[in-house]
Structure 1
Amino acid sequence: MTTETMLSVAGLSKTFKLVKAVRDVSFSIQRGKTFGLVGESGSGKSTTARLVLRLVEPTAGSIRFRGKDLANLSSGDLRAERRHMQMIFQDPFGSLNPRMSVRDTLVEPQLVHGIGSPDEQLRTAERLLAEVSLPRTALDRYPHEFSCGQRQRIAIARALSTNPELIVADEPVSALDVSVQAQVLNLMRDLQDRHGTTMLFISHDLRVVQFMCDEIAVMYLGEIVEQGPRDAIYGGAAHPYTKALMASAPGKGDGKRAKLKGEIPSAHAVPSGCAFRTRCPHAFDRCAVEKPAMRDLGSGQKAACHLLDGPIAA
């Protein structure tokens, strides 16, 4: 049985003037799967998400979606492809137009892409509201009349209104109370199973990524430092940064691993060699002069660290 690749990114880079926001990022997502990008604020996750959708133009690299290279599509062809890829943003209030009713919010993407008649568009809006557990009476209400969690449900319904094949979810629950996060995450998983949607999921929260994702890439200062299946990463993290993230996560530290210290350096001045060396408790001379290559660790897991030449301390 063959598995179809929905999205494939190769050598993706973005420089804003002198800021190297994303550096040589490569990954692929299989149809119907969820791929997670995890890392601290400033690691390049959200920029990568916007590059994938070409909301930001890449400096280098390719983005193949449904077999087409998005980086080379004309504006008209790109607009046609955008029907098949949608985004869920971090702030549900900021991403919803306060002057538009829920009805208009859910119908607008269908209008833009010429999907259905007015009656069909309304029926789709009603169905999607039911799928996100909101009543039909919500159609004539406005964003300010809902709680934060309800607004994010509306944003999820809007993302599904064009029946996309790919959803990019950028920190979709970080603005929500912990009690509401679980509800929204369960809803997203249920809807993904129902619609068969492929997902690129962005988060700084390791617990959320572990719950949502099939495969995970750990980003640090614009590049991927470790990648692999969820169980491989959480069962045997290889990179010191991944280990430190896990040790620093609430309720995850075992007291044996070194927790993450200091702040991520500025992307204006990426450290030489291994970018993580300025915070790594295991750094040695080679780390300052040679950038580590990504090494295959088996079972789909790979990491970029000179310490993989020998044992890594826990």
Structure 2
Amino acid sequence: MVKAEFLHHVGVNYLFAPWISWLLLLQCSPWVDQKTGVYLSLWWTLVVPVVALDLKIYGQWFTTKGTKYNLTAVANPTSQMSVIGNLVGSTAAARMGWSETAMILFSLGMVHYLVLFVTLYQRLSGSDKLPAMLRPVFFLFFAAPGVASLAWGSISGKFDTTAKMLFFLSVFLFMSLVCRPLLFKKAMRRFNVTWWAYSFPITVLAIAATEYAEEVKGKIADVLMLILASMSMLVTFSLVILTLFNSKMLLPDNDPFFSSSAVTPVPHHLPTIVTRTTPLDIRRNY
């Protein structure tokens, strides 16, 4: 299963998800100080797989011959998860004082984000390969610049002009998607696990709005922060409730793993005994 996702142009991007989640948990953990060796060890453990996946994906984009792994053929909204992985790692590095390492990861993520963003903006063939069920991942369009604004704020020490520009880009892309509800019509007909793709981008945008409001200290910024924070809480709470009522989608009864483990396989080397029922046997049963 992992090999199949690793070779799939959409599935390979989801391999960044666990490392991104653990890096975020590492940053907000109250038990691990950011200046200790434990934090450093965990950071290396989580960042190395991200960089390894970068080498695999980014290397294929400009070194592989043919059209199978060209960026124009495989680019889709989930490809931005590789960018988010680098930016989250950059934020974690900046918080422990490794500014140069944070700049390396930030540069790596942003350069490829620009290339990826332009490719997706042109709506080439790769973006059309995404199933309608996965259209909630279009929200990753504004998640990447939102995470970038937070990463740059951690590197520079304040939410400066560059961070504000990235935040404004994130808000603009968010409004562009919100104004096009028909894009998500097919994906919203029935609850699916992919709906969780709405929560992370909105939460990131709300956090960036909080940083912006603290820097600007204006009424409009405060209102924007409250609106986005309320949306984040509402979306997350709604998804939790919907997931609880549709928990069978996470662990279905016909899951191949559980079904295969519950049934004892019959050895193939044993002979098969075939019995035939005759009319005389039927009369005896009656």
TM-score normalised by L of structure 2: 0.28
Larger radius of gyration: 2
- Higher RCO (CA-CA < 8 Å; seq separation 6+): 1
TM-score normalised by L of structure 1: 0.26
